[in-house]
Amino acid sequence: MQKKLVIVESPAKAKTIEKFLGKDYKVMSSYGHIRDLKTKEFSVDVRNNYEPQYVIPLDKRKLVSELKKASAAAEEVLLASDEDREGEAIAWHLSEALGLQSEKTQRIVFHEITKPAIMHAVTHPRSININLVNAQQARRVLDRIVGFEVSPILWRKVKPALSAGRVQSVAVRLLVEREREIQQFVSEASYRVTAHFLLSDGKTLLKTELNRRLKNREEAREFLQYCLSAEFTVDDITTKPFRKSPAPPFTTSTLQQEAARKLSFSVSQTMIVAQRLYESGYITYMRTDSVNLSDLALGTSRETITKTYGEKYYHFRKYQTKSKGAQEAHEAIRPTDMNAPEIQHGSLQDKRLYDLIYKRTVACQMADAELERTTISIGIEGKKEKFTATGEVIQFDGFLHVYMESVDDDAEKEQENGLLPPVTLHETPGLDGITATERFTQRPPRYTEASLVRRLEELGIGRPSTYAPTIQTIQNREYVVRGDKPGEERTYNILALKDGKVMSEEKTEMVGVDRNKLLPTDIGTVVNDFLMEYFPDVMDYNFTASVEKEFDAIAEGELVWTRAMDKFYRFFHPIVEATAAIKTAHKVGERQVGIDPGSGEPVFVKIGRYGPIAQIGQANPENKKAPKPRFASLIKGQSIETITLEETLKLFDLPRSIGAFEGDGLTVGIGRFGPFVRHQEKFISIPKTLDPYTISEEEAIQLIVEKRAKEAERTIKLFAEDPDLKILKGRFGAYIAYQGVNYRIPKDAAAPTELTLEACLKIIEFSPEKTVKKRNAVKRK
């Protein structure tokens, strides 16, 4: 009989833990949750105290059978899932689904996968914390109620196959509101004045800036003209020491933000890499909102810092977690071994993220950076304004020797000021040059994944375990895309003193260019507006944050989870019923942009089955002979909120015929996946470099020829007896393509060029992928 069975969440973790435990232990993995609510059913018995109806998914039944058999054979079962609420729920589900006996079942937790941590956990087991389990159940049930009750309304009122989520919908609201702020933003101009002064040595130039912005061109011109004959005097020199302190060690959200800024990782990518590092034993648990460090970590950090950099670089700091709901773990994210500045194994991504975590942890226990800031003020004869120059000098680098925290936006980045030249008080420098440059107020920045996480955390929405899934979900549902905005060209004015005159010059610059930002789609915007109109309380930031606090109270045993569900349902369900009963004259999100001058019919934009569309005319069910409305898809970059009548009407110029090739016509149109050329029932995508409204016959033919050449390069073998079957060259080698499905070629098969039609059909018939679909295809043959 196996003495002890340890069940963890992932096979990678099982492999690492197995190294630390002796032959008396067997370590198995549950591969995450083994029970959940039914996928396509409500699965919450509202009349029976909100009891969840859990099922074991089909793909987990074999695993559950194996775990049951192993647990029955063991003297003791140790449930070692993660130490957060989700992990506690997994342990409870295992106990329930496997029918574990309480007298031989224990719960063990650890926040790092090292031998001391595992051995300590094994010798200090506890029982399952039902309060943590209930907090997770409450989140799961409440989210199921919102999703299953609101989604059908969206299907009827907006578009089929849409869905709503409690936290996700609020995240989309943040993005939609920011986008509207940007659209409504009106930039205001002012003039920034800079001057170069020649110091008393006759060689050194001092660059300065006027201490206020000038309102307009006339004021700037008058000021420069005045400076032509003015006298300037150094009237103040101040030098002040100041310090910079390091940022605290990483929590989940700060790690996601910093990895995005420094490594260009997406939020989900950061969590995948951090999970690997944790399961490999390199870092502590990665879902945490605590900034606390253990005494062991503090002690080893001191040893590392004093040994590597010297005693003067060390400064003890004990960080305290400010978040009231801090419950996801008991320690910040840190390396498990502070004597290991790098890891020898793992991918490049693993090594880069580990390096970031290591340096941040070391830096938080290092001394402040000591700097000195000098400000020189130059007065202008007869004016209140002053020119100033600021310089910073690092006297002692402290933690900056290892690490400096990044910021999100250019506006937040501090100007790097170097050492200033020697200047004497009351010195009268000569004016070498002065420039007034027209500058504009900046619109609010669009959110990145990192800055959205920061904002959600500021509002108290979500928890460490929910940030990455939330951001991934709103992108998967196509409510939000991560993309670029091209910006636009803007003209600005420069005034400069030259040869005793004020000269004016016009220049251009690109503004509003965005890279890798989160942008709400038309569908996301329409869904947000609908939810804001009919479910304003659920979409309220404070309400969503208060729900999180209720989950925290449940986890602390201060609130019964079913009472919290009942309170929410009694408030929420009547709103759902009232909204479902409302009949609207037009579809949600539909906007009339004007009248078609050719037909006199109204022109609309709205959400169609496959996305945003334009429509001319309206259906008349009472008159079957009446002209039917015409439809056209919006192209990428257009929005139903901002598109004009002229732009909308242009969409109806397509499809258009542009000539012929090989005796068949060439038609240009726009479909679900963008603009295309249609030829011989085949669709060839039009690249961004060509305009579908102006593409010529020659350019279309060239696209067709290029696509054929690429396909010929990919083609290994064709079969005249069955044109649907092809052997093609892919990224990972040769494969069979047949009736829209791809099939691997077994290693023991003949060379791709030697395969016969019969051999290919046999491979398809016995291929494990998409068996039903493939066998049906073979039967049809």
Residues 400, 244: contact at Cβ < 8 Å?
Answer: yes
Q: Which two tokens stand for residue 687?
A: 């690249």
Q: Which residues contact 522 (CB under 8 A, 6 or more apart)?
A: 589, 607, 611, 612, 634, 639, 640, 641
For 751-781, b where at least 16 C-beta lie within 10 A, e where not — what string? Answer: ebeebeeeebbebbeebeeeeeebeebeeee
Q: Which two tokens stand for residue 467?
A: 């940030």
Kindly give the interhelix angle for 522-534 and 166-184, rounded to the nearest 10 degrees. Answer: 110
Burial of 471 (0-12, 13-18, 19+ CB in 10 A): buried
CA-based angle 612:613:616, to the nearest 5? Answer: 155
Q: What share of the chain is helix, strand, coil (3-state, %, to 5)?
A: 40, 25, 35
Kindly give the interhelix angle for 11-20 and 115-123, rounded to the nearest 10 degrees. Answer: 80
In single-letter form, the type of residue at position 711 comes to E
Backbone angles phi, psi at 685, to 5 degrees: -65, 140
From the list 124, 80, 110, 123, the residue with the least C-alpha distance to 336 is 110
Beta-bridge partner residues of 238: 375
Q: How far apart are CA 762 and CA 429, in angstroms?
A: 90
From the list 195, 219, 220, 197, the residue with the least C-alpha distance to 209 is 195
For 319-336, b where at least 16 C-beta lie within 10 A, e where not — what string? Answer: eebebebbbbbbbbbbbb
Question: Does residue 285 carry a catalytic annotation?
Answer: yes
Pairing of strands 4-8, 76-79: parallel
Q: How far apart are CA 446 and CA 514, in angstroms?
A: 8
In SS3 terms, 356-416 reads as: HHHHHHHHCCECCEEEEEEEEEEEECCCCCEEEEEEEEEEECHHHHCCCCCCCCHHHCCCC
Q: How far apart are CA 631 and CA 556, in angstroms?
A: 56
Determine which one of 278, 282, 285, 467 is catalytic.
285
Kindly give the interhelix angle for 449-458 and 252-263, rounded to the nearest 10 degrees. Answer: 160
Q: Which residues are catalytically annotated? A: 285
